[in-house]
């Protein structure tokens, strides 16, 4: 007896949207059990609703059982489509609310890690102004590598991002916010920690195990890493800090981020007068975006804090 696959969805009802929101929460929590407290329902109810969604889509979305939770290939694609659908719905709702000239809706922001220690605090102050003007605005911040921030803005999952400026991608607008200085650090326990800069030969410094970032950087900054003996890599500055603090690697970190460890005597800068670079951080938004009152208000607040 042959089995016939369900026909493709002719429409997406409110019920399917509720199921897709549940599916998104399960994926982002990493499984049914972890999603219970977030969704406020039990595992059996989550399982039943996931089964309902799979039946309506005619697709197996995930594997669950003793081996744990894992998305199928179809599940990963449905998850990406779900992100785009829900972002589009929220954008529509925000635009309609904007017709009333009231700040309501969501602001989805993607940030490169460890910007909270930047002394200028422009993002923090702009968020405070936005919340003051629109108390009902819901702010969601995602800390992800720069490439994921830019992709999120491009596909509409994020309204705005803040990334190191390493060359503009097509379809995005960049606005410089501030510069940060990065110094070359080692941690206590590293052979160079107690070596005076005057006695530290350049070739000895360049021979140490070092860390390279995997995110995009301008060519003039990449040259600082090319002269080092990079035997490890990290997708973000926190990952670089983890490796430097082992006392086995040297690497560049923003001085504002490293300051607390320097004060504790756990990090020291190596040849700070010559081994440094300045990097511009920029806000990034999508070109040709639809009117979005919450986003425009945030951008105005950012400009006002300059």
pLDDT for 174 equals 92
pLDDT for 1 equals 40
- Taking phi first (over 0 means left), then psi (-120 to 50 degrees means alpha), and beta for anything else, what does residue 257 get? alpha
**CA 168, chain centre distance (Å):** 18
pLDDT for 133 equals 87
Is pTM, for the whole model, over 0.75? Answer: no
Spatial separation of the C-alpha atoms in residues 192 and 208, rounded to whole Å: 9
Q: Indicate the burial class of 120 (C-beta count within 10 angstroms; 0-12, 13-18, 19 or more).
A: middle
pLDDT for 251 equals 97
Of 110, 114, 185, nearest to 149 (Cα)?
110
pLDDT for 147 equals 83
| 101 within 8 A of 295, measured Cβ to Cβ | no
pLDDT for 211 equals 97
Query: Which residues in 21-42 are b (16+ Cβ under 10 Å) and which e?
Result: ebbbebbebebbeebbeebeee
CA-based diameter of the chain, in Å?
Answer: 83
Over pLDDT 90: what percentage of the chain?
49
pLDDT for 11 equals 66
pLDDT for 119 equals 61
| pLDDT tens for the 306 residues of the chain, in order | 444 455 556 567 888 889 999 999 999 898 888 888 888 899 899 989 999 999 988 889 988 777 778 899 999 999 999 999 988 888 877 776 665 556 788 999 998 866 666 666 788 889 999 998 888 899 999 888 888 899 999 998 999 998 888 878 889 999 988 888 999 999 999 999 999 999 999 999 999 999 999 988 889 999 999 999 999 999 888 899 999 999 999 999 999 999 999 999 999 999 999 999 998 888 999 998 887 888 999 999 888 876
pLDDT for 305 equals 78
| 277 within 8 A of 224, measured Cβ to Cβ | yes
| 107 within 8 A of 294, measured Cβ to Cβ | yes
């Amino acid at each position: 007896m042959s089995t016939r696959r369900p026909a493709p969805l002719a429409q997406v009802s409110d019920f399917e949207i509720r199921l897709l929101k549940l599916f998104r929460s399960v994926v982002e929590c990493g499984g049914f059990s972890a999603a219970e407290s977030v969704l406020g329902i039990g595992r059996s109810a989550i399982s039943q609703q996931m089964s309902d969604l799979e039946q309506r889509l005619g697709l197996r979305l995930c594997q669950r059982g003793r081996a744990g939770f894992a998305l199928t290939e179809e599940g990963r694609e449905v998850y990406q489509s779900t992100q785009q659908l829900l972002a589009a719905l929220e954008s529509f709702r925000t635009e309609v609310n904007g017709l009333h000239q009231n700040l309501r809706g969501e602001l989805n922001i993607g940030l490169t890690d460890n910007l909270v220690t930047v002394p200028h605090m422009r993002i923090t102050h702009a968020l405070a102004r936005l919340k003051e003007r629109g108390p009902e605005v819901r702010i969601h911040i995602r800390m992800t590598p720069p490439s994921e921030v830019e992709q999120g803005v491009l596909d509409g999952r994020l309204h705005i991002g803040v990334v190191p400026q390493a060359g503009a991608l097509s379809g995005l607008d960049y606005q410089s916010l501030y510069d940060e200085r990065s110094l070359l650090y080692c941690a206590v326990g590293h052979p160079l920690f107690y070596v005076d800069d005057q006695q530290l030969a350049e070739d000895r410094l360049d021979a140490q195990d070092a860390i390279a970032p995997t995110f995009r950087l301008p060519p003039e900054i990449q040259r600082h890493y090319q002269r080092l003996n990079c035997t490890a890599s990290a997708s973000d500055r926190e990952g670089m800090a983890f490796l430097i603090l082992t006392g086995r690697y040297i690497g560049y970190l923003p001085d504002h981020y490293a300051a607390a460890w320097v004060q504790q005597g756990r990090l020291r800068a190596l040849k700070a007068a010559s081994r440094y670079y300045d990097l511009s951080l920029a806000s990034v938004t999508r070109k040709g975006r639809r009117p979005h009152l919450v986003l425009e208000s945030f951008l105005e607040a950012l400009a006002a804090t300059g």
